[in-house]
Each structure stands twice: as C-alpha cells, then as structure tokens.
C-alpha cells in the first residue's frame, strides 16, 4: 500500500512521513527531491531557468515515474508531493487513485508560526503579511487537500502518527475522491467510483434516517440501481420514487404524483431526497425538494455530463409548461453535489459531444486551463474514448468546468464580482435558444444548439470589435475539432432572428448579448439587427457552406 500525504508547506509532511515510513520499513518519497534529482538543479533554479511551466512539467513526470500504486496490504511508500502539486487535477488523478490519502490539516496561524521558525528559508512567510499569504493559500487549496482523510495536524507527532495508523488499518474503500469543497451553494465532492461513499457521508451529515432516491428509468439502469445496492450494503434503508425518463419528467402532473408518493412514505421536513439522473431528472426532483413540505434538503447525483458540469450546480429547479420550458420553478441549492465521473462511462456519444458545447462556453468565458484541456482532450471525450476516462481527462474537464460554474454562481449569489455575473452563462445562448425554439426542441440537443450560438456570438463579437479575430478563430477551431455546429440547419433565418427577439417589434437595445473578449466576456445591448441577421445566416449555413 502507498500513502500520500498532502497539506500546506509547514504542515509536517516531511517529519511525519519520514517517521511513519521508518516505522513500517517503507520508503519515504519527497516528490520535490525527486524533481531536483532528475533535473540536477534545485527547485528555485528550475523556476529561474524553466519558469513555472517547466517546473510543472517536471512535476507531472515525477508523479508518472511513481508508476502504479502498490496493491499490497503493507505500507510500502509514503509519498509527499510539493504543496502545489495536487492543484493540478491530473496529478491528483495519478497520485490518489489506488492510494490512501491523508491531509495534514493545521490552522494557518499554526502554519505561519512554524514556517517563521523554520531553519530553512520559507519564501511563503517572507513578505509583509505572512499570515495573510498562508490564509489565502489555504483557502485556494483546501478543496484539493480535503479529498484526503483529515488528520489533525496540530497534534504532537505521536498523535498525528496515531491517527495515520488508524487510517492505514482501515479497510480500503476502492474508490477515489479527487476534490471536496464546502461551499455556500452546497458541498461538492468529485471523484471516481465514490458515489455511494459520498452519499453515505452526505446523508449522515444531514442526519438522515433513510435514503429516499428519486430517479428515472435510464439513469436508474445506468447508475441508480448499483447506488441503491451500495447504500443498502452500507446499512441504509432505501426508498425509491421513479419519475418518467427525459423531458416527460418535467411536468407538474409528475410532481403531484411524486409528492403523493413522498406523502405515502411519510417524508418529514428535514429528510433529504437524493436525485440520481441527468438534467431532466434533477430539475423536477429539485423542484419537488423545493416545494414538498415547503422545502426539504436534497442531494444531487448527476449522471450525465451536462448535469455534472452545468445543471446540478446553481440551484435552478423547475418544470416545463405547455407555454414554455422551465416556466415554473424555484431556486433551491442542494446540500451536496456528488460528481462521480465513473457514472458517465455509459453515456452515448451524442450526449457527451453535445455537453462539450456547454463546456466550450465555460472555457470561452475565460478559463484558460479548461480551454487548453478541451483543445487537447475534448475530441476524445466527445467520442467517448475509454482512454479519456482512464487517463483522467474526463475527470479534469468535469472538475474544471463544474468548478468554473460553482465560482460564477457563488460570486453572483454574493453579488461580489459584477464581472462574474451569472449572465455570463448565457454566452452563446441568445441564438441557441432561438434555434431550439424554431426547432420545437425536436432534433437538436441543447449543447448542440449552444455550439451554433457560440459561433454566432464569436462572429457578432468580431464584427463589433470586442472579440479579437484570433480568439474567435480559437473558439471556431475547437468547435470544429469537436465536430459541433458543423452541419447546415434547415431553419429559415428569419424565424431564428425573430426568435432571438432582435426583430423590429422589439425596441433596439433590449436584448443583452454576452460576447467573448480576448480572455472573458462583455455584455452588449446595442447589437444591430443587421449584424445578428448576418451571423445567424452564417451559422445556419453550416461550416462548409458559410461565407468564409
Ligand atoms: N437547472 C439548470 O441549470 C439546467 C442547466 C442545463 C440544462 N438543464 C436541463 O437539463 C435537461 C437536459 O439534461 P440532460 O442532457 O442531462 O438530459 P437527461 O436527463 O434527459 O438525460 C439524457 C438521457 O440519458 C439517460 N441517462 C442518464 N444518465 C445516464 C447514464 N449515466 N448513462 C446512460 N444514460 C443515461 C437518461 O435516461 C436520458 O434518456 C433539460 O431539461 C434542461 O432544461 C437544466
């Protein structure tokens, strides 16, 4: 067995790791030492010569050089990665899977004091506000460290070692947690094969007495049934309320039936519901949770890529009316969101590809790391390549895109950052919604429509001079690579333009467009109708037939 120790600089990883390793006759591996040895240079020298990018490349190589985790029962290696190594999702994927992970947690005050006393110069505490720097580092990294089992790192060495011995003696769970964040919009856990484990913890946290699962036949077959079996094995009494598959679930009549089923189960006010499914299940299940007994807590276990990166985050719940989609609803944040990427393996290719439309949107809003990841691995994910799951690309994209949405929603909830306003999520949606309306929601999936909308927004933005040509080209190129919004669409341009609300009946300037900039977005309410006309005509003509 291997143990990975994570925590801030000064959390005691080296002292604790060496002691634990020698006690068990195991090897202690300090990843920064390995990097220095391979480079024949010190970490500061590598930073000076190769920059941070060079160091991070070497760090990835050092993680890869560890090889597969030791599968035996005895402790073989104690691995201490540098404090920042686990910020990279792929490093966590390679380090945490198949290994025990412990987080040596100590309050920033304790860390700052220890670092100040350290005989080795610690750059982190050399500035004017050492405690402030440690605090902000702790805040930025806690969600990565908290994927491990929390060890009280303030205890004396014997106490810390005692807690680690208990962890080593506990049975292996066989699942991997990659991220755990406590946020104002719910607890977020991300990992592989950890849905049951995470649900178990979330239900305990809510003092649930049973697991009431709400699902639909498609998600149930792919993910719900095995989750229910796992929960039963963990000692939970499980009840199930089944909604219809697809958009059919988003009807008020379905909510009434489901609410009556909950009444028969005598669901009480504080009892949580667990929604297992894609967006078409999460929306009505969340609405049920928002309204039953004037609101009960709920936990989301999204089972589609769209749901994991988008619909499960943000608290928007609701049902459709014959007059329009999502007309009836409520904001009701889940208490916990469980993102288990293993559940996505059974998704059909078309769904994966369509979801990439929303993911490109999040990237184009200014998440450079997500953009680069989508450029490198998006096509493999869209094809449903098994390898994209195996080497962690799916987990990385889900983490980056889901976290980008978490940040937008949190910023908006607190109205802290006008720049990160929720309106940004409408990038590409002006034309997407219009296309979907003209399509009667019949042939295109939402993410596919968003891809057309993104191309339109890039063209409008370029014409207005807010989107640099190279940014627009980059957005178009990544959509090309994903084979999204390529085909001509058989809809009359006039109908689509009318559906955007830009037609003459509406006073100019009422419609707020979100347009990409070099590294983010702006909103504009002065997009001339002629420009919309041109952009819509171009995207409807498809990639082959459009004006160059
Ligand atoms: N609340 C929000 O903020 C928000 C955001 C975006 C979209 N949405 C809503 O989400 C809905 C679309 O969600 P969706 O794309 O997830 O569709 P969906 O929930 O209908 O799922 C698509 C299909 O996949 C099946 N399925 C689910 N999980 C599976 C799995 N793991 N393996 C194989 N098949 C599986 C389902 O049975 C269904 O047939 C729309 O109703 C949309 O309005 C809501």
Q: Same structural domain for residues 140 and 212?
A: no
354 located within any domain: no
Last residue of a domain, one of 289, 319, 347: 347
Residue 281 in contact with ligand 1 by CB distance below 6 A: yes
Q: Same structural domain for residues 43 and 161?
A: yes
* Three-class SS state of 328: strand
Interval between CA 307 and ligand 1 midpoint (Å): 6
Interval between CA 247 and ligand 1 midpoint (Å): 8
Please give the DSSP secondary-structure letter assigned to residue 271. Answer: P
For residues 113 and 259, the model is more confident at 259
Rg (CA), the chain: 25
Sorted by sequence, the CB contacts under 8 Å of residue 480 that are 6+ apart come out as 486, 543
Nearest CA, atom 12, ligand 1? 279
The pLDDT of residue 548 is 37
Q: Same structural domain for residues 210 and 273?
A: yes
Q: How confident is the model at residue 130 (pLDDT cuts 50, 70, 90)?
A: confident
131 located within any domain: yes
- Residue 281 CA: nearest ligand 1 atom is 19
391 located within any domain: no
Torsion over CA of 457, 458, 464 and 465, rounded to 10 degrees?
150
40-59 average pLDDT score:
93
186 in Cβ contact with 334 (< 8 Å)? yes
Q: What DSSP assignment string belongs to 170-197?
A: SPP---EEEEEEEETTEEEEEEES-HHH
- Nearest alpha carbon to residue 199 among 166, 222, 221, 177: 177
Q: Same structural domain for residues 259 and 319?
A: yes
The pLDDT of residue 323 is 87
The pLDDT of residue 420 is 54
Q: What DSSP assignment string belongs to 408-444?
A: HHHHHHHT--GGG-GGGGGTTHHHHHHHHHHHTTSS-
Relative orientation angle of helices 446-464 and 529-540, to the nearest 10 degrees: 130
Residue 306 in contact with ligand 1 by CB distance below 6 A: yes
Q: Same structural domain for residues 430 and 337?
A: no
Residue 310 in contact with ligand 1 by CB distance below 6 A: yes
d(CA 157, CA 263): 53
Name the average pLDDT for the chain. 93
d(CA 210, CA 235): 9
123 class by beta-carbon count within 10 Å (0-12 exposed, 13-18 middle, 19+ buried): exposed
Q: Same structural domain for residues 190 and 154?
A: no
Nearest CA, atom 23, ligand 1? 246
Residue 198 in contact with ligand 1 by CB distance below 6 A: no
For residues 545 and 306, the model is more confident at 306
Q: How confident is the model at residue 285 (pLDDT cuts 50, 70, 90)?
A: very high
Q: How confident is the model at residue 547 (pLDDT cuts 50, 70, 90)?
A: very low
- Residue 218 CA: nearest ligand 1 atom is 37
Residue 280 in contact with ligand 1 by CB distance below 6 A: yes
What CATH number is given to the structural domain containing 273?
A: 3.40.50.1970
As given in the structure block, the two tokens for residue 340 are: 């288990």
As given in the structure block, the two tokens for residue 285 are: 């299940």
468 in Cβ contact with 458 (< 8 Å)? no
Residue 545 in contact with ligand 1 by CB distance below 6 A: no
282 located within any domain: yes
What CATH number is given to the structural domain containing 52?
A: 3.40.50.300
380 located within any domain: no
Nearest CA, atom 13, ligand 1? 279
Q: Same structural domain for residues 165 and 208?
A: no
19 in Cβ contact with 29 (< 8 Å)? no
- Write out the residue range of the structural domain in which residue 458 sits: 415-545
Q: Same structural domain for residues 168 and 263?
A: no
Query: What is the β-pairing status of strands 149-152 and 100-105?
Result: parallel
374 located within any domain: no
The pLDDT of residue 432 is 96
As given in the structure block, the two tokens for residue 264 are: 């028969």
d(CA 163, CA 152): 8
120 class by beta-carbon count within 10 Å (0-12 exposed, 13-18 middle, 19+ buried): exposed
199-233 pLDDT, tens digit each: 999 999 999 999 999 999 999 999 999 999 999 99
Please give the DSSP secondary-structure letter assigned to residue 9. Answer: T
Q: Same structural domain for residues 191 and 168?
A: no
Query: Which of 308, 311, 402 to mutate for ligand 1's pocket (most ligand atoms within 8 Å of CB)?
Result: 311
Residue 278 in contact with ligand 1 by CB distance below 6 A: yes
Q: Same structural domain for residues 153 and 205?
A: no
Residue 347 in contact with ligand 1 by CB distance below 6 A: yes
68 class by beta-carbon count within 10 Å (0-12 exposed, 13-18 middle, 19+ buried): exposed
Please give the DSSP secondary-structure letter assigned to residue 62. Answer: H
399-to-59, 284, 369, 410 alpha-carbon distances in Å: 20, 24, 11, 16
d(CA 258, CA 87): 42
**Domains identified in the chain, total number:** 3
- Residue 351 CA: nearest ligand 1 atom is 15
Nearest CA, atom 27, ligand 1? 219
d(CA 406, CA 400): 10
49-to-38, 40, 45, 101, 209 alpha-carbon distances in Å: 15, 12, 6, 32, 58
For residue 514, give the H/E element and its range.
strand 513-516
Residue found by looking up tokens 């057309």 in the block: 452
18-to-157, 418, 441, 523 alpha-carbon distances in Å: 11, 48, 60, 54
Q: Where are the beta strands (DSSP E) in 31-112?
A: 77-80, 100-105
* Three-class SS state of 106: coil
Residue 46 in contact with ligand 1 by CB distance below 6 A: no
Sign of the dihedral defined by the CA atoms of residues 534, 539, 542, 548, in that order:
positive
491-520 average pLDDT score:
80
d(CA 522, CA 533): 20
As given in the structure block, the two tokens for residue 392 are: 């962690």
419-473 pLDDT, tens digit each: 557 899 999 999 999 999 999 999 999 999 999 999 999 999 999 999 999 999 9
Last residue of a domain, one of 150, 172, 194: 172
Q: Same structural domain for residues 453 and 480?
A: yes
110-127 average pLDDT score:
78
The pLDDT of residue 113 is 86
Nearest CA, atom 41, ligand 1? 280
What CATH number is given to the structural domain containing 430?
A: 1.20.1090.10
Q: Same structural domain for residues 207 and 325?
A: yes
d(CA 539, CA 519): 23
The pLDDT of residue 416 is 52
d(CA 193, CA 176): 7
Residue 177 in contact with ligand 1 by CB distance below 6 A: no
60 located within any domain: yes
Neighbours of 226 (CB within 10 A): 15
Last residue of a domain, one of 115, 141, 172: 172
Half-sphere exposure of 397 (CA within 13 A, CB side): 31
312 in Cβ contact with 334 (< 8 Å)? yes
| Window from 106-120, 177-191, 236-250, 386-400 with minimum mean pLDDT | 106-120
Task: Using the predicted structure, report yes or no on whether residue 505 has a pLDDT greater than 50.
Answer: no
89 in Cβ contact with 178 (< 8 Å)? yes
51 located within any domain: yes
d(CA 212, CA 220): 13
Interval between CA 77 and ligand 1 midpoint (Å): 42
- Nearest alpha carbon to residue 514 among 418, 424, 417: 424
């Amino acid at each position: 067995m291997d143990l990975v120790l994570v925590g801030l600089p000064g959390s005691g990883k080296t002292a604790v790791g060496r002691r634990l390793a020698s006690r068990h006759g195991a090897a202690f591996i300090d990843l920064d030492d390995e990097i220095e040895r391979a480079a024949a240079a010190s970490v500061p020298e590598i930073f000076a010569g190769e920059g941070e990018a060079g160091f991070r490349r070497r760090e990835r190589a050092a993680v890869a050089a560890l090889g597969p985790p030791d599968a035996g029962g005895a402790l073989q290696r104690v691995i201490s990665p540098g404090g920042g190594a686990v910020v990279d999702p792929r490093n966590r994927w390679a380090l945490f899977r198949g290994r025990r992970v412990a987080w040596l947690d100590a309050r920033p005050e304790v860390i700052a004091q220890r670092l100040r006393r350290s005989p080795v110069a610690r750059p982190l505490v050399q500035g004017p506000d050492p405690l402030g720097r440690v605090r902000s580092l702790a805040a930025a990294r806690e969600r990565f460290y908290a994927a491990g089992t929390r060890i009280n790192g303030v205890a004396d060495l014997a106490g810390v070692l005692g807690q680690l011995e208990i962890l080593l003696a506990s049975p292996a769970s066989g699942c991997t947690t990659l991220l755990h964040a406590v946020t104002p919009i719910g607890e977020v856990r991300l990992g592989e094969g950890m849905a049951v484990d995470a649900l178990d913890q979330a239900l305990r946290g809510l003092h649930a007495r049973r697991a009431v699962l709400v699902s639909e036949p498609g998600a149930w077959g792919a993910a719900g049934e095995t989750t229910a079996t796992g929960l039963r094995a963990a000692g939970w009494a499980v009840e199930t309320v089944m909604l219809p598959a697809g958009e059919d679930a988003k009807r008020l009549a379905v909510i009434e039936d489901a609410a009556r089923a909950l009444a028969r189960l005598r669901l009480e006010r504080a009892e949580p519901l667990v929604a297992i499914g894609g967006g078409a299940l999460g929306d009505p299940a969340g609405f049920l949770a928002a309204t039953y007994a004037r609101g009960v807590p709920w936990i989301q276990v999204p089972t589609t890529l769209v749901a994991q990166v988008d619909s499960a985050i943000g608290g928007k719940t609701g049902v459709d009316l014959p007059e329009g989609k999502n007309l009836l609803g409520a904001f009701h944040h889940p208490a916990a969101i469980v993102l288990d990427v293993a559940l996505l393996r059974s998704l059909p290719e078309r769904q994966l590809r369509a979801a990439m439309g929303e993911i490109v949107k999040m990237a184009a809003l200014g998440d450079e790391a997500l953009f680069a990841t989508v450029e490198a691995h998006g096509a493999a994910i869209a094809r449903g390549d098994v390898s994209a799951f195996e080497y962690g690309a799916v987990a990385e994209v889900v983490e980056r895109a889901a976290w980008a949405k978490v940040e937008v929603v949190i910023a908006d909830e607190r109205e802290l950052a006008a720049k990160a306003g929720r309106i940004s999520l409408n990038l590409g949606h002006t034309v997407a919604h219009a296309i979907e309306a003209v399509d009667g929601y019949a042939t295109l999936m939402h993410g596919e429509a968003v891809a057309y909308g993104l191309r339109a927004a890039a063209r409008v933005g370029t014409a207005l001079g807010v989107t640099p040509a190279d940014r627009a080209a980059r957005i178009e190129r990544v959509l090309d690579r994903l084979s999204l919004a390529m085909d001509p669409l058989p809809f009359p341009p006039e109908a689509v333009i009318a559906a955007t609300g830009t037609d003459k009946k509406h006073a100019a300037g009422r419609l707020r467009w979100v347009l990409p900039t070099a590294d983010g977005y702006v909103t504009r309410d002065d997009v001339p109708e002629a420009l919309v006309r041109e952009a819509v005509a171009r995207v409807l003509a498809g990639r082959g037939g459009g004006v160059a």
